[in-house]
Amino acid sequence: MTGTSINNFVPLSNINEDSSTCPQQVEITDFTKLDHHAFKLRYRSNSIISASTIEDEKPLPVIKILGTGGTIASKAQSSNVTAGYAVDLTIEELLSHIPDLSTTCILEYEQVMNIDSKDMGLLEVETLYRQIKEDLSKYDGIVITHGTDTMEETAFFIQSTINTEKPIVFCGSMRPSTAISSDGPMNLYQAIVIASHPQSHGRGVLIALNDRIGAGYYITKSNANSLDTFKTVGQGYIGNFVNDEVKYYFPAAKPLGMTYFELDAEFDLPEVPIIYAHQGLNNKILELALKELNAKGLVIATMGAGSLSAETNEFLSNLVGPGFPIIYSKRSMDGMVPLGGLPKFNGKVFDNAVAGGYLNPQKARILLQLCLNEGYDLKRIKKVFKTV
């Protein structure tokens, strides 16, 4: 760091300054892109530890943080408010509230977008996908800050479309940065340490929240308010984070049965609506959804392990033509829809019906969209879903 002016460093806001010690500092270099800024960040501890000194001793992993917004980047009107907040913080501001990582990794970060995840649509997911693809060859791991509402969908999409051994770790928070019990700084800190850990390689896309490490392929948000919301009841967590230690329960492995899709430079996924089944379902909703939206497939959140009323199943069989895929998923958070749960007519399984396996409706929708985008016919779609 010879010849670097001290003016290139800024103090971290969470360090207590006094007359006897210099504040912990960080160098920020701005790399201007077409529509936003990307930054390289190197910590200096007490103004004597530099990135170059650390690199001479042992090469550190270089981690890229991609910010997309969410509750982790939000502020509320007071410290006791945990709802009704707005996205207002940048990645740079978030990083100023986490501990020193100078002996763990070298950080670079980029604000890809700054939105609530309820506003995360195909265009936004595509933007994030392209950024990850661009960055993967340059970094040892990727961390993505994301709102929790749709984090599981984005993580599933990235897992299904990017095949890499490098760790891609999603994190977020359930409470805004202004809350007394804000969980954002710890979740972000843990995600960075996890992405830097050598044992995180070869495990697929991870989600790190509330000291838990889960597989993005299966994990889901189970509670609208609790910090301990992301769960994989049937498949279980793959590790946890305790007292600055990353602990994995199993050897490195990715979820079994995944299908990878190599997307073209330009893609526009076909329309696939989700219908939530319930008592007294008006079957006209099915007809409207398919015809008005020009849907290419359908996902139904069935009432059990594929259960729909006999009337609804018959209505569907008369509504769709040969080859039109209908994924029978489930409303319940855990469990699966097996092949035996599909409806039968005259002893023969409804040909359009596809068992959704362990996937919840929102993830089944993404998988079906990717299959249709590849031009898969019904037979091949069934083969893909048979593995999940």
Catalytic residues, by residue number, are 71, 148
Q: How far is residue 244's CA from residue 189's CA, in Å, rounded to a whole number?
A: 9
148 is in an annotated binding site: yes
Taking the C-alpha atoms of residue 377 and residue 323, their distance in angstroms, rounded to an integer, is: 7
| Residue 145, annotated as binding a ligand | no
332: number of Cβ within 10 Å: 15
Alpha carbons within 13 angstroms on the beta-carbon side of residue 273 total 14
Could you tell me the two tokens for 314?
Answer: 């018959």
Strand spans (E) along 324-378: 326-330, 344-345, 348-349, 353-355
Is 229 annotated in a binding site? The answer is no
Name residues whose C-beta falls within 8 Å of residue 92's C-beta, 6 or more positions apart in sequence.
28, 39, 109, 111
CA distance 135 to 156: 19
Cα 81 from chain centre: 25
Assigned token pair, 321: 């033509």
Sign of CA dihedral 95, 183, 194, 246: positive
3-state secondary structure of 134: helix
Q: Among candidates 225, 224, 222, which has minimal Cα distance to 237?
A: 222
List the structure tokens of 208: 């790190």
Residue list for the binding site for substrate: 117, 148-149
Q: Which residues are annotated as a binding site?
A: 117, 148-149
